[in-house]
């Protein structure tokens, strides 16, 4: 689970890592008030869980409350690398003298953690490593030992960081351990013209296996979740709403993505990405179909299943159960292949629902779904 920047900064502050004053809002008027409280000038930062915000115009320095309101109005609702901006954070500006990079990341191959640090912060660490590999220090960290004062001094010395960053390195490790994190990153960690060391930006990835211990972070996701995606999540399904007219259901992310491409290649637009998983039962299939059919933008649904762990006859039974309980007014194209495919096709054939068609290939199913969506 990746946290938003403002959530990561809150964790840093909770563990004693200095951060500039900042507040979060979802409204332009709120941005005006925050800027006033911060003293006028502020940095407006889009809150999305992706990199490249600055290059996309999602990070801007504003001169006063009015500019903060206007800039927030411009940023909210925009798309940054496929992520819609729903909130912004306003932070007090900092007079930066030097920028550094520090992080801890799980090293699965070594069975431990790796400290990565550089005196060249403020840009993607991959760029620094590619251009100046000697400028990036990689120091193994024994989970049992952790980051002691001696280890923090070793990391700082290897990366060419000033000695006063050692305290941040120790506290950043405390964030990782205390918050069940797989990655903690500060970029940039800065030294101001006044000599203070501050974390200006942060990233934290929490182990999904520990989500139950961090419900305060998942609450914000639930507030912002699309209603269709929320309905799927309640049923334990992974769904992403898109902007098209063909609902797409499949078993396995790879197959669903291939189906999306096939639909687009036939001149139609997918309306969603819904993966029923590799071991889906009839009940799961029925739930997935019910979710997709609830989207008013959907004009046709394409179910593409390759039976493996998921038997095609179970999928067919789920489809029959769904069309018997949900009023089906849009066409449904089904392609079944693999484990028990013949039995699955027979079940659908016996039901003979007037809105359900079968196809033998993925391309044929995509082509028919596109035709039906365009004629609806």
Q: What is the pLDDT of residue 315?
A: 87
**CA–CA separation, 198 and 168 (whole Å):** 9
Q: In this predicted structure, what is the pLDDT of residue 337?
A: 94
173 phi/psi in degrees, rounded to 5: -65, -35
The pLDDT score that the predictor gives to residue 83 is: 79
Distance (Å, whole) CA 300 – CA 281:
23
Report whether pLDDT(161) > 70. yes
Tell me phi and psi for residue 87, to 5 degrees: -145, 155
pLDDT digits (tens, 9 = 90+) for 195-211: 999 999 999 999 988 88
R_g (Cα) of the chain, nearest Å = 25
147 pLDDT higher than 90: yes
pLDDT at 374: 92
Mean pLDDT, residues 1-20 taken together: 94
pLDDT at 172 over 70: yes
d(CA 336, CA 359): 8
**At residue 261, what are phi and psi to the nearest 5 degrees?**
-65, -40
Q: Provide the mean pLDDT of the chain.
A: 90
Q: Is the pLDDT of residue 218 over 60?
A: yes
Residue 125 has pLDDT above 80, yes or no: no
Structure tokens at 274: 């819904």
3-class SS of residue 210: helix
Residue partners of 197: CB distance under 8 A and separation at least 6: 18, 162, 164, 165, 167, 168, 189, 190, 191
Instruction: Give the mean model confidence (pLDDT) for residues 111-123.
Output: 88
pLDDT above 80 for 279: no
Which pLDDT score is estimated for 280?
Answer: 62
pLDDT greater than 90 at residue 241:
no
Active site (catalytic) residues: 101, 185
pLDDT digits (tens, 9 = 90+) for 39-68: 999 999 999 988 888 888 999 999 999 999
Which of 17-31, 136-150, 278-292, 351-365 is least confident?
278-292
Tell me the helices (H) and strands (E) count for the chain, helix number first: 13, 18
pLDDT tops 90 at residue 258: yes
- Residue among 224, 239, 221, 209 nearest 301 (CA): 239
Question: Are the C-beta atoms of 281 and 314 separated by less than 8 Å?
Answer: yes
pLDDT of residue 329: 83
Nearest to 234 by CA among 314, 288, 293, 295: 288
Return the pLDDT at 234: 83
When mean pLDDT is compared across 11-20, 68-77, 119-128, the lowest value belongs to 119-128
Q: Which of 186-190, 256-260, 281-285 has the lowest mean pLDDT?
A: 281-285
Instruction: Give residue 287's pLDDT.
Output: 87
Q: Are 270 and 246 in contact (CB under 8 A)?
A: yes
**What is the structure's pLDDT at 224?**
55
pTM of the model: 0.64
Q: What percent of the chain has pLDDT over 70?
A: 96
17-47 tens-digit pLDDT = 999 999 999 999 999 999 999 999 999 999 9
Start-to-end CA span in the chain (Å): 39
Which has the closest alpha carbon to 375: 246, 241, 242? 246
103 in Cβ contact with 116 (< 8 Å): yes
């Amino acid at each position: 689970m990746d946290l938003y920047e403002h959530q990561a900064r809150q964790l840093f502050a909770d563990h004693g890592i200095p951060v500039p004053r900042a507040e979060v809002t979802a409204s332009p008027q709120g941005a005006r008030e925050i800027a006033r409280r911060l003293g006028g000038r502020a940095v407006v930062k889009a809150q999305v869980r992706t990199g490249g915000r600055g290059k996309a115009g999602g990070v801007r320095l504003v001169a006063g409350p009015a500019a903060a309101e206007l800039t927030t109005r411009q940023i909210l609702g925009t798309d940054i690398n496929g992520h819609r901006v729903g909130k912004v954070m306003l932070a007090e500006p900092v007079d930066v003298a030097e920028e550094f990079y520090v992080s801890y990341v799980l090293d699965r191959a070594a069975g431990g953690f790796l400290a990565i640090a550089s005196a060249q912060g403020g840009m993607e660490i991959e760029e620094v490593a590619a251009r100046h590999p000697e400028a990036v220090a990689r120091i193994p960290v024994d989970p049992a030992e952790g980051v002691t004062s001696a280890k923090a001094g070793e990391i700082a010395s290897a990366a060419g960081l000033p000695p006063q960053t050692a305290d941040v390195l120790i506290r950043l490790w405390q964030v990782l351990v205390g918050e069940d994190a797989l990655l903690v990153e500060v970029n940039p960690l800065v030294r101001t013209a006044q000599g203070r060391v501050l974390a200006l930006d942060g990233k934290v990835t929490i182990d999904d296996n520990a989500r139950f211990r961090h419900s305060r972070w998942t609450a914000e996701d639930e507030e912002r979740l699309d209603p269709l995606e929320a309905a799927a999540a309640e049923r334990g399904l992974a769904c992403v709403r898109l902007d098209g007219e063909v609902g797409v259901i499949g078993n396995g992310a790879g197959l669903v993505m291939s189906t999306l491409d096939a639909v687009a290649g036939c001149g139609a637009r997918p309306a969603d990405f819904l993966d029923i998983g590799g071991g889906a039962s009839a009940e799961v299939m029925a739930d997935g179909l019910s979710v997709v059919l609830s989207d008013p933008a959907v004009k046709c649904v394409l179910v593409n299943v390759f039976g493996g762990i998921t038997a095609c006859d179970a999928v067919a039974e789920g489809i029959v159960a769904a069309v018997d309980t949900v009023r089906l007014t849009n066409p449904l194209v089904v392609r079944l292949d693999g484990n028990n495919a013949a039995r699955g096709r027979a079940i659908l054939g016996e039901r003979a629902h007037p809105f359900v068609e079968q196809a033998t290939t993925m391309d044929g199913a995509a082509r028919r779904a596109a035709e039906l969506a365009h004629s609806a």
